[in-house]
Amino acid sequence: MKEINMPPLVTILMCTHKLSENFFASIDSACSQDYTNLFLTVFFDGVNHTSQDLYRLSRICSNYNRRYDYISKDINVGLTAGLCTLQSRFPSDFYARLDVGDTWDPSKISKQIDFILSNRCSIVGTRSRYIQNGAQLGLGPNIHCNSNLIIDRIKSFRGVYDHSSILFSGMYKYNPSWYYSQDMMLYVDIANKGGTFGFITEALTNVLCNSEGITISNRPLQLYFEKEARMRLYNDALHCTQPKHYTELKKPVAMFSFFYRKFITAMQANLYIRAYICLLLACILDLRLLGYYFDRIKSRLSLPIQ
């Protein structure tokens, strides 16, 4: 009897700290992929899930004949710890990341596997649609698929991939000490180890934009860890000190965090002049942010980005 070759195993990593309809919509999207060899994993991060919640999860997976498993923690340990726990418990050929509320085109995983195998890439992302209240706000940047140009985007402090758009080789792991901006550290680690990057220009990922989901207290730390990760590109990590905790940050970084929080607060209050003054002051304190926001403005204006 001729042996049937199974396609590579793709394990979906999903972490949540609360249950909602958005969570189950993402589960349904993951299960409805046309790729066959999928395994869904969920990390319940301090979630008080009921037997009815678990039954609903099981029912969705069984409706699509999908294998799945989950891990529960009674206390909140954070996103990075959840991702690392899933990777250590469930080794895989490839991993795909899916945030709660985000959804995929049914062909996303199969197209990414075809791309990554044909081009021998270590990681591939897709273009995204941004959705709010059921309406499409716009499309993410159309990144050039050349690996070196994508790495240049990391070096120039511009956007790379949306979290839920990535699929990457199972040989790469999340850094457990990088509890903010863990994906950026993953990209830097891939580049430093000689990995290659790809991009699918078709919008296969839907990113849910939640105006109430911005955590003002965490955003400065996310940006700080993102910058720390980018600074490690092609540098020997052994010679880089561990990122400081927020309370240990130097005065310029603390001032940047102060003005960035003021920017977010003013934007939420529709005080746009005050907001952009605060953003300008934050950028002056850290000039690398200018490239990041210039890239965002170009994408909003639908200009081609090379």
Q: Considering only residues 95 and 279, tell me which one the structure prediction assigns the higher pLDDT.
A: 95
pLDDT digits (tens, 9 = 90+) for 259-299: 877 887 787 778 888 888 888 887 777 655 555 555 555 55
pLDDT band at 227; cut points 50, 70, 90? confident
User: Cα angle at 92 between 29 and 229, to 5 degrees?
Assistant: 85
Q: Is the pLDDT of residue 61 over 90?
A: yes
**Within a domain: 226:** yes
Handedness of CA 242, 228, 216, 173 (dihedral sign): negative
Phi, psi of 73 (to 5 degrees): -120, 135
Least confident of 61-75, 165-179, 185-199, 205-219: 205-219
Q: Is the pLDDT of residue 211 over 90?
A: no
Q: Which of these three, 69, 100, 131, is where a domain ends?
A: 100
CATH number, domain of 45, equals: 3.90.550.10
**Within a domain: 78:** yes
* pLDDT number for residue 234: 83
* pLDDT number for residue 214: 47
User: Cα angle at 176 between 174 and 180, to 5 degrees?
Assistant: 85
Q: How many domains does the chain have?
A: 2
**Within a domain: 207:** no
Phi, psi of 244 (to 5 degrees): -80, 150
Range of the domain at 284: 219-300
Phi, psi of 134 (to 5 degrees): 80, -5
**Within a domain: 123:** no
Query: What average pLDDT is seen over the chain?
Result: 84
Q: Which of these three, 81, 100, 119, is where a domain ends?
A: 100
pLDDT digits (tens, 9 = 90+) for 116-160: 999 999 999 999 998 877 777 788 888 888 999 999 998 887 889
* pLDDT number for residue 235: 73
* pLDDT number for residue 292: 54
pLDDT band at 210; cut points 50, 70, 90? low
Q: Which of these three, 42, 77, 100, is where a domain ends?
A: 100
**Within a domain: 135:** no
Q: What is the 3-state secondary structure (H, E, C) of the chain?
A: CCCCCCCCCEEEEEEECCCCHHHHHHHHHHHCCCCCCEEEEEEEECCCCCHHHHHHHHHHHHHCCCEEEEEEECCCCCHHHHHHHHHHHCCCCEEEECCCCCEECCCHHHHHHHHHHHHCCCEEEEEEEEEECCEEEEECCCCCCCHHHHHHHHHCCCCCCCHHHCEEECCCCCCCCCCCCHHHHHHHHHHHCCCCEEEEEEEEEEEECCCCCCCCCCHHHHHHHHHHHHHCCCCCHHHCCCCCCHHHCCHHHHHHHHHHHHHHHHHHCCCHHHHHHHHHHHHHHCCHHHHHHHHHHHHHCCCCCC
* 229's tokens: 């990760």
Least confident of 8-17, 47-56, 80-89: 47-56
**Within a domain: 122:** no
Q: Considering only residues 245 and 38, tell me which one the structure prediction assigns the higher pLDDT.
A: 38
